[in-house]
Structure 1
Amino acid sequence: MWASAFVVIRHVAHDVSPGALGSGRLLVAALVVLPLVLRRGWVAPTRREWTLLALGGIGWFGIYNLALNAGERHVDAGTAAMIIQIGPVIVALLAVPLFGERLHGWLLGGMVVGFAGVAVIARGSSTDADASLVGVLLVLVAAAMYAVGVLTQKVLLRRLPSVQVVFVSFLTGAVICLPFSPDLPGIVADGGAELWWIVYLGVLPTAVAFTTWAYALTHTDAGALSLTTFLVPGIATLIAWLTIDEVPPSLTFVGGALAIVGVLMTRKKPKAA
């Protein structure tokens, strides 16, 4: 489902503003999960949990959507999916000061290799160097916001229901995107294809996918679960090739492979002394 989101965003990126695509998607997702929240019952968050909910909603669902949607105006779907895979490297880096994890050689090496992969992707992703760089940097911002979201959810899901966490996050992200959505009322009024693509993004890659992810995160090791996202770039590239006849340049695959190797290196634990 996440793989298809990169392709749909790329398909409508030049017809729908980044804000409208984000706010519409998140409002639809919030409506879909609302019955689950009401059925599950509300658990009152603490002040610290409200802060983390706001941080995750603003970062992962607000800024992430704005940056990714804008970035895919400049880079193809497969390239964007590959850059997002650098997110786990950023998670590993931020976990050092936030959770007291040790900065070891594998972590440092993985960061170097991972970001080298992003540099290779930037080099090979477009014939327009300036546009390519802008797109890569925007998607890299989205990857950083993904990392923020994973770290906040890691704490929130210890006590709060997963559907409640994603519901609040969806609404918070939508509020962040709405000021950048001047075309959203017109898209809704027209009822054209753009609206139905937004609905699709809201239902499957957002409501269903993120709720399932949050539920799985409460029952599975976060590191092991994150490894499943390595399938996303390949699937996104295949879907883009079959549906919109778009394939990343060959150098982009080299960069994507380096990024994934970098992530795997950060997951390797050093030998005990």
Structure 2
Amino acid sequence: MPAVEPAAPATAPDTSGGAQTGPLALAAVGITLVLWASAFVGIRHLAHDFSAGALSLGRLTAGALALAPVALAQGLPRPSGRQWLSIATIGVLWFGIYNLSLNAGEQRVDAGTASMLLQVSPVLIAVLAAMFLGERFTAQLAAGLALAFSGVVVIGLSTSGGDNTGDLLGVVLCLVPAAAYSISVIVQKPLVAELSAVHVTWLACSIGVVTCLPWAGRLVAEVGDAPLSSTLWLVYLGVFPTAIAFTTYAYALRHMTASALGVTTYLVPPLTIVMGLVFLDEVPPVVAYAGGVLALVGVAVARRSR
């Protein structure tokens, strides 16, 4: 699943009952995928004007402010102590560490490669679910994990040529968000069944803002030095891939089965690669495509229903 884009409703109970998907739900899916793919391109574009911490704080602040009126319109959230602990964990991991590491990673690898690396998250989620939610760890799951890991290795080797270890570090930095997201999904699975998905995302995003506050000084300085267009891109990342894409994703989930909607996120890497070519004039190394396909095949094998 793509970059930083809030997916709290992804684990909400599916109430569609397998009903036929309507055109509005399909449009919502399309909007979500395009906006999530654009986030990878936006992060890569801003790498020259904003450091990883400042970019994270700016995006999360814009996202929290955009989500606030929507969340408060549903009433003031009142989580229990246990729920606050889960929300804080999601806020620090998913919104804080996820963004910090992904932003740093995209300063070293292209947007398409970053989006492919994050697609190992479904396999990691399956492993964690087997460990902590009582789901079976099957031979099929193990095979899928091995394939996906092999794909990640191929991507890492293809983006690190000779003695240049910077790109390899970028690959590692892009794998950290995959782990942070996967852990957060396991934590939030019981949470969104008890609280509004909007409230969970808004509160977690706000905690992410607090997590990134040490970079407030850098953000102020870099906004002052950056061109207006880059500042507008920063606001875009918070409002569109975060707030609007979250809303359209939630709408689509209401009208589709969770499994059918989850499969659509595998379209994010090709969309990101196309956008990276158009807007950034960059594409992943040729061998990285093979690694990306191998990783996605591994995910498909691990998640394939019997």
Contact 1:113 1:259 in 2 (8 A): yes
CA distance, structure 2, for counterparts of residue 104 and residue 85 of structure 1: 20
Q: Is it true that 1:228 corresponds to 2:232 in the alignment?
A: no
State how 1:24-173 maps to structure 2 within 5 Å: 24-127=58-161, 129-173=164-208
CA distance, structure 1, for counterparts of residue 123 and residue 158 of structure 2: 21
Q: CA deviation at 1:217?
A: 5.0
The verdict on how the C-alpha distance between 1:67 and 1:182 changes in structure 2, with shifts beyond 3 A counting, is same
Contact 2:49 2:222 in 1 (8 A): no
Question: SS at 2:165's partner residue?
Answer: helix
Contact 1:21 1:69 in 2 (8 A): yes
Alignment RMSD (CA, Å)? 1.7
Unpaired runs of 5+ residues, structure 2, are: 1-34
The verdict on how the C-alpha distance between 1:137 and 1:62 changes in structure 2, with shifts beyond 3 A counting, is same
Matching residue of 2:218? 183
Q: CA deviation at 1:181?
A: 4.3
Contact 1:112 1:262 in 2 (8 A): yes
Question: SS at 1:40's partner residue?
Answer: coil
Larger deviation, residues 225-234 vs 114-123: 225-234
CA distance, structure 1, for counterparts of residue 39 and residue 122 of structure 2: 19
Q: CA deviation at 1:269?
A: 3.5
CA distance, structure 1, for counterparts of residue 148 and residue 222 of structure 2: 39
Out of 246, 267, 281, the residue aligned to residue 210 of structure 1 is: 246
Matching residue of 2:291? 255
Deviations 1:205-229 (A, max 9, x none): 1111234435555665544332111
Q: Is it true that 1:17 corresponds to 2:44 in the alignment?
A: no
Q: Is it true that 1:264 corresponds to 2:300 in the alignment?
A: yes
Contact 1:118 1:259 in 2 (8 A): yes
CA distance, structure 1, for counterparts of residue 189 and residue 252 of structure 2: 11
Deviations 1:209-262 (A, max 9, x none): 234435555665544332111011000000010111001111111010011111
Matching residue of 1:244? 280
- State the percentage of identical aligned residues: 47
Question: SS at 1:160's partner residue?
Answer: coil
Matching residue of 1:3? 37
Contact 1:114 1:260 in 2 (8 A): yes
Unpaired runs of 5+ residues, structure 1, are: none
TM-score normalised over the length of structure 1: 0.93
The verdict on how the C-alpha distance between 1:219 and 1:59 changes in structure 2, with shifts beyond 3 A counting, is farther
Contact 1:162 1:211 in 2 (8 A): no
Contact 1:75 1:126 in 2 (8 A): no
The verdict on how the C-alpha distance between 1:206 and 1:13 changes in structure 2, with shifts beyond 3 A counting, is same
Q: CA deviation at 1:22?
A: 0.7
TM-score normalised over the length of structure 2: 0.83
